Structure 1
Amino acid sequence: MTLNPLVHPLLLLLIGSGLVALVLVAMRAAPKDGRGMWLGRLLLVCAVLIAALRPGVGSVATNAANTELDVVFVVDLSGSAGAEDWNGSEPRLTGMRSDIEQLALRHAGARFALITFDSEAQYRLPFTTDTTALAKAMQLAQPQPSGRSHGSSIGAGAELLQEVLNNAIDYNPERMRVVYYLGDGEITSDTTPERYRGSADLIQGGKVFGYGTERGGRMRDSDPYSGGEYIRDRSDQEGISTIDEANLQDIADDLGVEYQLRDADSEPEAADIDPARGEGATQRGGVTTFPIYWVFALVAAGWMLVECGWLVRQQRELAAAKVVSE
């Protein structure tokens, strides 16, 4: 049997000892015909205390429950996220939004964080279990306007990702961590892109998703003052953005995860979680126990119903006695 107490066991012991002592004193002072109720109350206290210890039995292999999982989405929001080659003529960002929504459903109960980047990285959504907030953050996300672009680098989010993961480990090292990178791999910056290798030992799994086609797509300028015109290149031709799968595969290799080319006719593949990988993993070992605290919670709830019935009967007896006395 294993225990996973809600609070420190010593605190539970202190609270439990005090409650048991109070019940025993009250039971001793009660008349003999009323001691049965106090015996039930002693059972209630013991059941609640045991439930608070959250006992479990046996061992079950697991890939980490979603409730013990941190999921970080890293999304490329450079101008090419607006390239219109998703599902024929839709912006790539449409596919990214849809995939994040599906992945959030696959990991229901997990905590989600969102990092976006264009010329710079932004921690757009800190860890939360609120999938509505995640969806809203993605709906508000837009490709970088061409007037603010200084060239895109696929590694612009690398440093911030590592920082977010390290903070998550400091806060709770026993939680599993998964990273999903979403982008097209295109580089328009003259600088050498940062690498994601520093995050590889901080996660238990992830995936790199690629968006776009070799043919490419035109990009509408997201600047509200542009009138929705297409971005033009230096030769004053409509700019065309194409996917660079080699760069995306490099990111996957850096993180130690798989790469998947995305299209509207398929679904994003959720990450395979390896409990033996990454910092903090040896503490979990990929094994969990079957919880039995609910049995004691049911006992406590059952006795509460008995108490309610007893109180109702007492009220009726008092009411009847009042009528007789009148």
Structure 2
Amino acid sequence: MILQPVLHPVLLVLLCAVPAVFIVRALIRRTPPGRPIWALRLGMLVVVFAMLLRPGIPGGTSQTLATNTDVVIVVDTTASIVAEDWAGDEPRLAGVRADVQSIVDEYPGARFSLISFDAAAQLRLPLTTDATALMSSLDVMLPEITDRSRGSSISIANRMLTDTLSAAAKSSPDRSRMVFYLGDGEQTISRDPESFASAAKYVDGGLVLGYGTAEGGPMKKTTGRPSTGSGTQGGGSGTQGGDGEYIEYQGQKALSVIDEGNLKQISEQLGVQYQHRSVDAVITLPEAPTSTTDYAASGEVGNVIELYWVLALVLVALVGVEVARATMLVTRLRGLTRPSPDRGGAS
């Protein structure tokens, strides 16, 4: 027998001791005809106490599914990530969020880390198995403020990515590492992008995902504050932080155009494949480099077969007796207080 009390046993004893004293006193003072009902109530209290102890027996099993992989996701948060050429006129960030959700679903049990980059790289989420935290970080993630933008490099996250992968390799050398780079490839500063070759030696798999079109999409100005509008952002609660005005260049709406050449170069440096993303194309994710254990291979994790439900059935039966007795007494009282037809007519 295994006990897993909901509270410390001492606290449970103290909680049940007070009603137990009153019940026992009533049981002693009552005449023999009145004692059975108080004995019943004492039994109910004992059953409740036993339920709160959560008794069980060993032997239950549950099967697990886990991916022995660290997944680092690198997301472009420059102004161009909200260019409106995803699914027609939605911002690219909507597609990014949807694809990250697909990545999370593909590798259950993996550890995830999130790096964003615009004028600087930022580690938004260290490695964690909490996929909800990852999606929450994406939901509140806003692009860089337009008025502060001075251009950015598509490789500015290279050093942070290398450091993150290196630390993961040292702390968990038995785990594989995957990198997913999500961006449009636009290099908006004059110098050439750095190489991701320094990170490649830690990478066992992943993808470079490209967003945008050759025709380009207009971009709304971003202020760094959540928008009060109802713009769609892939189902997340975060918004693009725009004020409704579009960025202009020479009197026309500025257009952001995907640079697939740069993205393919990054994929070659990291040693992973490149995919252009669009709303009507199904994302193809690679298998985890190390085995993703299935239900048969993962083994069985020891568990406890709970028995509190048996006590709950006993409690229901005892409560039923109490309710039946109360119903019977109420029926008798109504019969005693109801006037007889003869007496009613005489009056």
Q: What TM bracket, shorter-length normalisation?
A: 0.5 to 0.7
Contact 2:178/2:205 (CA < 8 Å) preserved in 1?
yes
Decide which moves more: 130-139 or 89-98.
130-139
Q: Quote the residue 1:241 is aligned against.
A: 256
Pick closer, same or farther for the CA change 1:173–1:241 going to 2, 3 Å: same
SS at 1:177's partner residue?
strand
In the TM superposition, residue 226 of structure 1 has moved relative to its aligned partner by 6.7
Larger Cα Rg: Structure 1 or Structure 2? 2
Pick closer, same or farther for the CA change 1:291–1:239 going to 2, 3 Å: closer
Ranges in structure 2 where 5+ consecutive residues have no aligned partner: 1-56, 226-240, 308-347
Aligned-partner Cα distance in 2 for 1:200–1:66: 25
Deviations 1:77-125 (A, max 9, x none): 1110010000000000010001001110111111110000001000011
Contact 1:208/1:252 (CA < 8 Å) preserved in 2?
yes
Question: What code does the residue aligned with 2:256 have?
Answer: S
Aligned-partner Cα distance in 1 for 2:190–2:158: 17
Aligned-partner Cα distance in 1 for 2:107–2:300: 24
Structure-2-length-normalised TM-score: 0.61
Question: What code does the residue aligned with 2:268 have?
Answer: D
Contact 2:67/2:288 (CA < 8 Å) preserved in 1?
no
Q: Quote the residue 2:114 is aligned against.
A: 114
SS at 2:134's partner residue?
helix
Aligned-partner Cα distance in 2 for 1:126–1:113: 5
Q: Quote the residue 1:21 is aligned against.
A: none
Q: How does 1:241-320 map to 2 (within 5 A)?
A: 241-275=256-290, 290=297, 294=301, 297=302
Aligned-partner Cα distance in 1 for 2:208–2:163: 19
Contact 1:99/1:267 (CA < 8 Å) preserved in 2?
no
Pick closer, same or farther for the CA change 1:135–1:292 going to 2, 3 Å: closer
In the TM superposition, residue 204 of structure 1 has moved relative to its aligned partner by 1.1
SS at 1:221's partner residue?
strand
In the TM superposition, residue 141 of structure 1 has moved relative to its aligned partner by 1.0
Aligned-partner Cα distance in 2 for 1:165–1:74: 12
Decide which moves more: 78-87 or 259-268.
259-268
In the TM superposition, residue 293 of structure 1 has moved relative to its aligned partner by 6.3
Decide which moves more: 142-151 or 250-259.
142-151
**% identity of equivalent residues:** 41
Moved over 2 A (4+): 224-228, 271-275, 289-294
Question: What code does the residue aligned with 2:76 have?
Answer: D
Q: 1:227 aligns with which of 232, 243, 247?
A: 243
Question: What code does the residue aligned with 1:257 have?
Answer: V
Structure-1-length-normalised TM-score: 0.65
Larger proportion of helix = 1
Ranges in structure 1 where 5+ consecutive residues have no aligned partner: 1-43, 52-64, 276-283, 306-326
Aligned-partner Cα distance in 1 for 2:71–2:178: 5
Pick closer, same or farther for the CA change 1:152–1:236 going to 2, 3 Å: farther
Aligned-partner Cα distance in 1 for 2:211–2:72: 18
Pick closer, same or farther for the CA change 1:74–1:291 going to 2, 3 Å: closer
Q: How does 1:200-215 map to 2 (within 5 A)?
A: 200-215=200-215
In the TM superposition, residue 208 of structure 1 has moved relative to its aligned partner by 0.4
Aligned-partner Cα distance in 1 for 2:80–2:121: 16
Deviations 1:273-316 (A, max 9, x none): 445xxxxxxxx9x9xx946665xx47xx68x99xxxxxxxxxxx
Aligned-partner Cα distance in 2 for 1:254–1:151: 23
Count residues with an aligned counterpart: 234
Q: Quote the residue 2:140 is aligned against.
A: 140
Question: What code does the residue aligned with 1:179 have?
Answer: V
Aligned-partner Cα distance in 1 for 2:82–2:242: 14
SS at 1:80's partner residue?
helix
